[in-house]
Amino acid sequence: MELDALKKTLNTLADQTSGEVFSKDVSKTIALPSVGNITRMKRNLLLDFCTIMAGMIYLVIFYALRYRGALWICALFFIIASIAVSVFFFRKRKLLNDMQHASLRTTHFFGKQLTALRKYVSWYILGGTLFLPVSTLLIFLLANFCQPVLLENKNTILYWLSSGASWWFSIAALAMLTAGANFFCKWYAFKLYGRHIERLNCLLKEMNEK
């Protein structure tokens, strides 16, 4: 009887101890008021995705129908780019969903996820910056390989890229447009995601200091 009573006492103490530890873990998890910032980033992500895909669809239709379909391979390039963008946004949304999940919002996991989110934003800025010059050069090369007659049309940007007299002007124009795209992408990424990431980082530091 005394042995049974001792076992019950030990079990009760163990349950109380585990309950205290669990309550500390839960408080450390739920006390992080990150849901609002993550929700706003998910909303911005959806709007951003719809805007980019609308532009991609326009480019696909434009190059598929322009010049009687002579630049269909350019339309194919933008279809592939659209698929890559969709995969990128899907993975980013999955990360935000994981960050919003209560069982994963401990300071340890949250810090790793916040680092991964910063990398996604950096790739977003890099991709947005390089999209304009890379797509322009690819379209020029594809047109030169598939439909060189289009390079003789003075009303197209392809003519200016292929003209020897304006070659340096084309490079300078692309460089200026790339710099402008980089500035815009940094500002836009901060507006949609960066400011919320900074708030989450401050909250994470406060949680680690407690």
Q: What is the pLDDT of residues 149-172, one digit of tens each?
A: 555 555 555 555 555 556 677 777
Residue 54: per-residue pLDDT: 96
For residue 38, count CB atoms less than 10 angstroms from its CB and return exposed for 0-12, middle for 13-18, buried for 19 or more. Answer: buried
Instruction: Between 173 and 79, name the one with better pLDDT.
Output: 79
The per-residue pLDDT of the chain, averaged, comes to: 75
Contact 92, 120 (CB under 8 A): yes
Q: Is the pLDDT of residue 75 over 90?
A: no
- pLDDT tens digits for range 25-66: 444 443 445 678 888 999 999 999 999 999 999 989 988 887
Q: Is the pLDDT of residue 187 over 90?
A: yes
Residue 64: per-residue pLDDT: 85
- Band (pLDDT 50/70/90 cuts) for residue 144 is low
Max intra-chain CA distance, the chain: 103
Mean pLDDT of 65-83: 83
Torsion from C-alpha of 63, 67, 68, 74, nearest 10 degrees: -30
Contact 50, 126 (CB under 8 A): no
CA–CA dist 201, 141 (Å, integer) = 44
Contact 5, 164 (CB under 8 A): no
CA–CA dist 159, 163 (Å, integer) = 6
Q: Is the pLDDT of residue 23 over 50?
A: no
Residue 88: per-residue pLDDT: 95
Contact 28, 106 (CB under 8 A): yes
Mean pLDDT of 89-108: 79
Contact 56, 78 (CB under 8 A): yes
- Band (pLDDT 50/70/90 cuts) for residue 201 is confident
Mean pLDDT of 79-90: 94
Contact 85, 66 (CB under 8 A): no
- Band (pLDDT 50/70/90 cuts) for residue 177 is confident
Contact 67, 150 (CB under 8 A): yes
Residue 43: per-residue pLDDT: 93
Q: Is the pLDDT of residue 1 over 70?
A: no
Question: Considering only CA atoms, which of 67, 5, 7 is closest in space to residue 75?
Answer: 67
